[in-house]
């Protein structure tokens, strides 16, 4: 799907707000059933790049529920590892 490649490019270029808007529209489209897990995965990547970890994890989880073999499973694990490694107390000294 050419749209998916375009969305990946938007996310890679840092235009995550545009990518999220387009992903939201595609997820509302009932004809995009086969790509839903990929769309949620990409939306998770966009939110992660934006720094919105909760939305990123939620979207990865949606993708995993649709397709347990989605790359979102690895992305979710990495995001959780990053969040667990991040020591907030270090910045409060």
Averaged pLDDT, 14-23: 94
What does the pLDDT look like over 40-91, one tens digit per residue?
999 999 999 999 999 999 999 999 999 999 999 999 999 998 888 876 665 5
pLDDT at 70: 94
Are residues 59 and 41 in contact, defined by beta-carbon separation less than 8 angstroms? yes
Number of neighbours of residue 87 by Cβ within 10 angstroms: 8
Task: Quickly count: other Cβ atoms within 10 Å of residue 21's Cβ.
Answer: 12
How many Cα neighbours within 13 Å face the side chain of 57?
A: 10
CA atoms within 13 A on the CB side of 42: 28
Can you list the domains of the chain with their CATH numbers?
1-86 (1.25.40.10)
pLDDT at 89: 64
Q: Is the pLDDT confidence value at 93 over 60?
A: no
The radius of gyration of the chain's CA atoms, rounded to the nearest angstrom, is 14
**For position 34, what pLDDT does the model report?**
82
């Amino acid at each position: 799907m050419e749209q998916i490649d375009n969305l990946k490019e938007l996310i890679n270029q840092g235009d995550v707000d545009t990518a999220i808007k387009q992903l939201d529209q595609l997820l509302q489209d009932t004809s995009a059933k086969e790509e839903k897990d990929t769309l949620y995965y990409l939306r998770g990547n966009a939110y992660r790049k934006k720094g919105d970890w909760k939305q990123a994890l939620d979207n990865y989880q949606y993708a995993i529920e649709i397709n347990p073999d989605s790359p979102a499973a690895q992305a979710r694990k990495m995001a959780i590892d990053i969040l667990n490694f991040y020591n907030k107390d270090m910045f409060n000294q």
